[in-house]
Amino acid sequence: DIIENIPVLPESIQKLKERIEDPEYTIEEISDLILKDTALTADILMMANSPFYRKSTQFTSMEDCVKVLGTAGLQSILMVTSSYRLLAGKVSQERLQSLIKHSEETAYYARELTKKKSSQYKLEEIYLASLLHDIGKVIVEELNTDIYSKIQKTMALHEIPIEVLEDLAEGINHAQIGSMIAEKWNYPAIVCEVIRCHHNPREAQSSPEAVFNIYLANTITYYQRNEITFENIDHNALEFLNIQSQEELDQIVTELSLQYNNSIN
């Protein structure tokens, strides 16, 4: 019932995706199509200027965005913006922005971690999966605000992984729900698996490399704020990225945090 009530992607977005993929459409034509949707234009400009994509100068025109982002990058941003737009209103705007901000930070760390080890995945795939990894939280929080609020407080107080408590709260798990939403919207398999396994990376089957990467990027956002300890981190993920000790992880976290903070200032 939960997933049945999730709206499908609007036909206008699906048509735009098809036209972006069509090699016969020029940069100018794609830009004009996007500019017809004021909200979408604002979303794309904002995300094109996010730390993940930001260059030395800001993008100010849609044509510049389309040129630099390319088809894959534009498709990723389109999927992310349309996803969050469809779920807007299910939680407060403040909470939605908080989730997006956390996901942007995760995406930045995932990109940098990907650079440290050769990867078969394109950065756009990592970006898309990172930005959508927590999308199930929107639905879980809407289902029972009181339960989720208590979960968050208990998690912080006792340093218990959030997925354990979610399983106790009427079987609700934001990773499972999020992957079901992504499947309903026909998102790439890598995105669905990252969402489903981003707290349990050893469950990954088709895209373990991407899952381990984004799991650790997501974990770093909590670790740097002392919300989880080194012992809480899956050591398979650390080994996968050749991180041998807490000191080595601390060095990486310090570097990434500094880079990220500089990129948003």
**Highest-pLDDT range among 29-38, 69-78, 139-148, 242-251:** 242-251
Question: pTM here?
Answer: 0.82
Q: Which two tokens stand for residue 212?
A: 């381990």
> Do residues 201 and 217 touch, judged by C-beta distance below 8 A?
no
- 187-206 confidence digits (pLDDT tens): 899 999 999 999 999 999 99
Q: What angle do CA 155, 213, 114 make, to 5 degrees?
A: 140
Q: Tell me what the mean pLDDT of segment 12-34 comes to.
A: 87
pLDDT at 156: 66
Whose tokens are 């790439």? That residue is 188
pLDDT at 169: 46
pLDDT at 211: 93
**Higher-confidence position of 261 and 145:** 261
pLDDT at 165: 54
Q: Is the pLDDT of residue 40 over 80?
A: yes
Q: Is the pLDDT of residue 170 over 50?
A: no
pLDDT at 45: 86
- 151-168 confidence digits (pLDDT tens): 666 666 766 665 555 544
* Burial (CB count within 10 angstroms: exposed 0-12, middle 13-18, buried 19+), residue 242: exposed
Asked which of 28-37, 152-161, 221-230 is least confident by mean pLDDT, the reply is 152-161
> Do residues 156 and 225 touch, judged by C-beta distance below 8 A?
no
- Which residues, including other chains, have CB under 8 Å from residue 105's CB and lie 6 or more apart? 221, 260
> Do residues 101 and 49 touch, judged by C-beta distance below 8 A?
no
**Higher-confidence position of 91 and 137:** 137
Q: Tell me what the mean pLDDT of segment 221-237 comes to.
A: 90
171 band by pLDDT with thresholds 50, 70 and 90:
very low
- Which residues, including other chains, have CB under 8 Å from residue 6's CB and lie 6 or more apart? 86, 87, 139, 181, 184
Q: Is the pLDDT of residue 221 over 50?
A: yes
